Amino acid sequence: MGERAEATPPDATPPDATARVDGTPDDGTPVDGTHTAFSTTRLEAFSDGVFAIAITLLVLDLAVPPRDGLAGRSLLHALGAEWPSYFAYLVSFAVIGIIWVNHHVLCGLVRQADRLVLFANLFLLLTVSVIPFPTRLLAEYLTAPGDSHVAAAIYSATMLTMAIAFTLLFLAITRDARLLHNPLDRATVQQALRRFSIGGVFYLITIGLSFVSAVLTLVVHALLAAYYCFDQLSATRA
């Protein structure tokens, strides 16, 4: 009656609370490796930390032209020459922001996590926290004649891997109804997987597109981010 929003409803036995309070001695397993249920609180806190840091670290790669390196150009001109880093910054910021929103939605379904979920989540966090690297790479090479294709392909492959990691996390969570607040019916799961697959195909296409034009590839990533963003906003109103 006075529970917090995250609390489990009063009429349900909260398995994670039990697990933590009891130290799960009931199954006789040793203390250091066999808790089978986790509250999602720390999973979310740790994930939020990684998302927040990855999205904020991107700013470190917005280079300030050194004052004695302008070589007669104006600052504005020198900054203008850095447009690939601003462009890549904005796209990567949007991508991490959207995946955070999706992670938020996905975690909202979870009643408790087990180790497979924790490790699937860690794999997703790996793909998220690495994003500043391909972003820096693409910013540096976006206008390099031949190498731009390699940089764009690595950037696109990172996004594809992130999409796959998100799908794996979804599968890890939905594989066991006990992990969920409410069981999902098969149709809902299928529909979600279909959506993920379409997203994956798009990212696969951007890898191919990288060898046509790196700039165009980044534009497509920006459009995909905008699409996901508006798609979710329209879901708000639906």
Q: Which of 95, 137, 214, 224 binds its own copies (CB under 8 A)?
A: 137
Q: Is 83 in the site for its own copies (CB under 8 A)?
A: no
Asked whether position 114 contacts its own copies by CB under 8 A, the answer is yes
**Site size for its own copies (CB under 8 A):** 115
Tell me which of 91, 99, 125, 159 binds its own copies, using CB under 8 A. 125
Instruction: Give 12's Cβ-side CA count (13 Å radius).
Output: 13
Q: Whole-angstrom Cα distance, residue 50 to residue 81? A: 31
Name the residue nearer to its own copies (CB basis): 129 or 213.
Answer: 129
Does 66 participate in binding its own copies (rule CB under 8 A)?
A: yes
C-alpha of 31 from chain center: 32
Minimum separation from the CB atom of position 82 to its own copies (A): 10
Closest residue by Cα to residue 61 from 87, 80, 100:
87
Find the binder of its own copies among 71, 72, 74, 198 (CB under 8 A): 74
Burial category of 27 from C-beta neighbours within 10 Å (exposed 0-12, middle 13-18, buried 19 and up)? exposed
Taking the least distance from each CB to its own copies, the nearer of 154 and 207 is: 154
C-alpha distances out from residue 45 to 33, 49, 107, 133, Å: 21, 6, 11, 23
Shortest distance (Å) from residue 115 CB to its own copies: 4
Q: Is 32 in the site for its own copies (CB under 8 A)?
A: yes
Nearer Cβ to its own copies, position 163 or 209? 163
Cα 90 to Cα 103: distance, rounded to the nearest angstrom:
20
